[in-house]
């Protein structure tokens, strides 16, 4: 697995471009990896609902919950599906809209300097082994491409937005991930 730093795309990932992105500030070095969890509808896996959310094509009539979120303009750089498939929405050198109001080590606006990785899942159900494997491979590729990202600079959404966000949740096994990361 390798990142093309010129284009910002991950080789071998399925690409679904999201309009929910913009330029990073000129002085913002990419030095943080943020792990999220997402399922649409909540607690359900599979289907194209996450792609639809990140591309502003979510049908609010398809599920009652979608009426609440259909107008959100959000994205992540990548999604790791339950089977380990990686889908990329935003080139890594651009700013994805994943962290919202956030702070890491005293620095606010984490979207400016982070890469957002969504895991298809929810806070209270175990993630799949294929997801941990893909996440560890992806993290190593990102650390090679962006050396300021180190194992110490990998955080959960709950770490950068405490009290507001809980993902990737208690079901995410940080020890397993760090062991696979090496």
Which of the residues are catalytic? 118
Task: Name beta bridge partners: 130.
Answer: none
Query: What is the C-alpha to C-alpha distance for residues 90 and 17, in angstroms, rounded to an integer?
Result: 6
Residues 6+ apart with CB under 8 A from 8: 90, 91, 92, 93, 94
Crossing angle of the two packed helices 129-145 and 174-181, in degrees rounded to 10? 50
Q: How many residues does the chain have?
A: 182
Q: Which residue has the tokens 């959310």?
A: 53
Burial of 36 (0-12, 13-18, 19+ CB in 10 A): buried
Q: Which of 108, 104, 122 is nearest to 44 (CA)?
A: 122
């Amino acid at each position: 697995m390798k990142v093309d730093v010129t284009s910002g795309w991950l080789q071998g990932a399925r690409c679904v471009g999201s309009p929910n992105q913009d330029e990073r500030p000129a002085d913002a070095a990419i030095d943080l990896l943020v792990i999220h969890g997402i399922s649409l509808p909540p607690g359900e896996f599979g289907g194209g609902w996450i792609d639809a959310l990140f591309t502003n094509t979510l049908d609010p009539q398809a599920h009652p919950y979608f009426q609440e979120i259909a107008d959100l303009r959000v994205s992540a750089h990548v999604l790791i599906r339950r089977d380990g498939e990686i889908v990329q929405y935003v080139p890594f050198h651009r700013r994805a809209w994943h962290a919202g109001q956030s702070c890491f080590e005293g620095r606010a606006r984490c979207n400016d300097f982070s890469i957002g990785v969504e895991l298809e899942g929810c806070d209270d159900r175990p993630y799949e082994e294929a997801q941990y494997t893909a996440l560890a491979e992806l993290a190593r590729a990102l650390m090679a491409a962006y050396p300021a990202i180190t194992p110490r600079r990998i955080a959960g959404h709950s770490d950068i937005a405490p009290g507001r966000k809980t993902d990737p949740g208690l079901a995410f096994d940080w020890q397993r991930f760090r062991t696979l990361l090496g």
